[in-house]
Amino acid sequence: MARRYFEDFKVGETWESAPTPVSAEEIITFGSNFDPQPMHTDAAKAADGAFQGLVASGWHIAALSMKVFVQAGGYGETPVVGLGIDELRWRAPVRAGDVLTVHREVAELRRSDSNPKHGIVRTRVTVRNQDGTVVMTLVTAGRVPTREGA
């Protein structure tokens, strides 16, 4: 895995993850630890709820989208400092057995105003299930070193 600098990124550049299954156990574990609502932690109670069954926390899917990107080496060996998330939308529920694919596209590149040794990379993230249904969208911003700043 090579190091990537701000100058190596191009607007329109895309990346797509391998299909990633989501299990009931993962949904319940994440929900129990970070979003302990019955729809995420208890299949029996969830069956009577708004989604008529167990669904993943949206925060689980946001974290999963980051995990698969980092594991696949999306930024190479370059450390990226997250600056924030904009336009986060949970569009459809994710259920046990769903298989998700994460798509990222570089949407904007600009030098940092406060430190020109860094650049800002904004990406649009779209997560789809096995049927092609969009389950989550968001825009991320990350700080990446320039060659001068490395």
Condensed to tens digits (0 to 9), the pLDDT of residues 33-86 reads 999 999 999 999 999 999 999 999 999 999 999 999 888 877 778 778 899 999
Please state the pTM of the whole predicted model: 0.93
Continuous segment of H or E residues that includes residue 32: helix 24-34
What is the SS3 assignment for 136? strand
Question: Please, what is the average pLDDT of the chain?
Answer: 94
Q: Are 62 and 140 in contact (CB under 8 A)?
A: no
What does the alpha-carbon distance between residue 111 and residue 84 come to, in Å, rounded to a whole number? 16
What does the alpha-carbon distance between residue 135 and residue 93 come to, in Å, rounded to a whole number? 6
- Give the C-alpha distances (Å, rounded to integers) separating 128 from 12, 52, 102, 109, 114: 19, 21, 7, 25, 36
89: pLDDT strictly greater than 90:
yes
136: pLDDT strictly greater than 80:
yes
What does the alpha-carbon distance between residue 100 and residue 132 come to, in Å, rounded to a whole number? 9
Quick one: pLDDT at residue 5?
92
